[in-house]
Structure 1
Amino acid sequence: MFTSVPGARLYWKLEGREGARPLVLLNSIGTDMDLWDPVLPLLRARFRLLRIDTRGHGASTAEPGDFSMQLLARDVLAVAHDAGIDRFALAGVSLGGMIGMELALARPQQVEKLVLVCTSATMDAAAWNDRIAKVRGSGMAAIADLAMGRFLSDELREENPALYETVRRQLVTMDPQGYAGCGAAIRDMDLGARIGGIAAPTLVVTGTRDTSTPLEGHGEHLLARILGASHAELTAAHLAPLEAPEALAAALIPFLEG
């Protein structure tokens, strides 16, 4: 299904049982909804799953330009409306978690629970500005090695080279403007000083192999500032749904059903 919003056309899928608890799943920058594929068999019988390709990612198109976290949050609300879902839990990886935090602040009456997977409320703006410039000037190949070095661990690359190459191919063939636009949202986000206002019960998931948003300096900031937030640590790099799907589901399901 597609939802048209100003400046973009958003692709989404709704799966699972009618009447089951709604769960929105959001992808990281540089990936699409397939990021959640290994976890779906563990969730589908329990939840009504709404997956969304972030604008400029996967099958979602977007006009060039700088996006904002508020814009990306409105995209999720537009899709949820079209899917007939008013209140929902949300699990987001990296950028998806940032969008989730923005949504939980803007629409506390709609976000019932929040799962923040390998994400942060504060990132290095200068580093992201440099990455955006490289992508806009030279295309996705200019940052592919950097991104892949953070996305997946060396251990997974050795154990599952086919998965590694699939993720890399998806990254280098995506729309550079979509990546750059979402990169601008990360660069410009102002969540750090605001996340104390998140009222939704929150689970912070960190990866021991994650060099982008590890517990130290990132996850610990979320845990210290979001009232009552709980923590789960996985043996995974940044794309935890690909690297540790069973462990992620084992943390996520009791939290959402509790």
Structure 2
Amino acid sequence: MAFTEVPGASLYWKRDGRDNAPALVLLNSIGTDMDLWDPVLPLLRDSFALLRIDTRGHGASRAEPGDWSLSLLAADVLAVTEAAGFERFSLAGVSLGGMIGMELALQQPRRLEQLALICTSATMDPAAWNDRVVIVRSEGMAAIADLAMGRFLSEAFGTANPGVYETVRRHLLAMDAEGYAGCGAAIRDMNLADRLGAIACPTVIVTGTRDTSTPFEGHGEHLVARIPGAVHCPLGTAHLAPLEAPEALAGVLTSLLKD
């Protein structure tokens, strides 16, 4: 584990897995940290050299307040991969992590081997996200916790796994509101939809059949249609696929990204 200093932030990261194996970067969603990947790690360690990063303003990563951009968040990832010694790598990102992955693939095509976009989108409602940024900054994380949790995990999973549900909710409530707002601004202002055709690396689109935030209809379908050669893999999960379907997700990543 280590910290990498970048302008305006200190980024926390961990390396795991097998040295000299294919490199795989794992990025979290907004409102979570690298622990999102905990259920999947044991299933990936033998196949990859793994790098997890707490997104700016999330988990142990600290940052100066502000409205951030996907370009800035992609630069953060690039700085950490260089510090970790990853010259070329594949990337799997959930939600915001997938958006950052798309931006990075567009900006640094020679660095990306393959891309896994998990429960994510290139088009979100800017007005809704602006409202969320304003609410979080004025009222704190509790003001959006019920909304977020209703999308993070399906009702059936939460009922069957109350400990996981409560842990995710507790971490969400405890996170820095400015960190959430800064990343929310990046989602609000992202400019990906018209650029997807320039993503050159092999890409898999993972959508959740119970995901109400970025379902296939209106979100995943556009990624599949616009990213050249993209492969679609639906899973029986809500928005946080690494928690709700770790075995299925690990199977997708191992089969499609290992070679």
TM more than 0.5: yes
Q: Gapped runs of 5+ residues in structure 2? A: none
Cα distance in 1, alignment partners of residues 47 and 29 from structure 2: 23
Tell me what 2:192 maps to: 191
Cα distance in 1, alignment partners of residues 122 and 89 from structure 2: 21
Alignment check: 8 A CA contact 2:209 2:237 kept: yes
Q: Which amino acid aligns with 1:71?
A: L
Cα distance in 2, alignment partners of residues 49 and 18 from structure 1: 9
1:78-102, Cα deviation, whole Å (9 max, x unpaired): 0001001110000000000000000
TM-score by length of 2: 0.99
Tell me what 1:177 maps to: 178
The reply on whether 1:211 has 2:212 as its aligned counterpart is yes
- Structure 1 residue 172 displacement after superposition: 0.5
Partner SS for 1:128:
helix
Cα distance in 2, alignment partners of residues 222 and 18 from structure 1: 32
Cα distance in 2, alignment partners of residues 168 and 103 from structure 1: 29
Q: Which amino acid aligns with 2:87?
A: D
Tell me what 2:153 maps to: 152
- Number of paired residues? 258
CA RMSD of aligned residues (A): 0.5
Q: Which amino acid aligns with 2:189?
A: D
Report 1:21-170 matches (<5 A): 21-170=22-171
Cα distance in 2, alignment partners of residues 238 and 127 from structure 1: 18
Moved over 3 A (4+): none
Cα distance in 2, alignment partners of residues 18 and 132 from structure 1: 40
Q: Gapped runs of 5+ residues in structure 1? A: none
Q: Which amino acid aligns with 2:54?
A: D
Identical-pair percentage: 72
- Structure 1 residue 29 displacement after superposition: 0.1
- Structure 1 residue 66 displacement after superposition: 0.3
Cα distance in 1, alignment partners of residues 253 and 15 from structure 2: 19
TM-score by length of 1: 0.99
- Structure 1 residue 18 displacement after superposition: 1.4
Partner SS for 2:38:
helix
Alignment check: 8 A CA contact 2:48 2:258 kept: no
Cα distance in 2, alignment partners of residues 159 and 232 from structure 1: 25
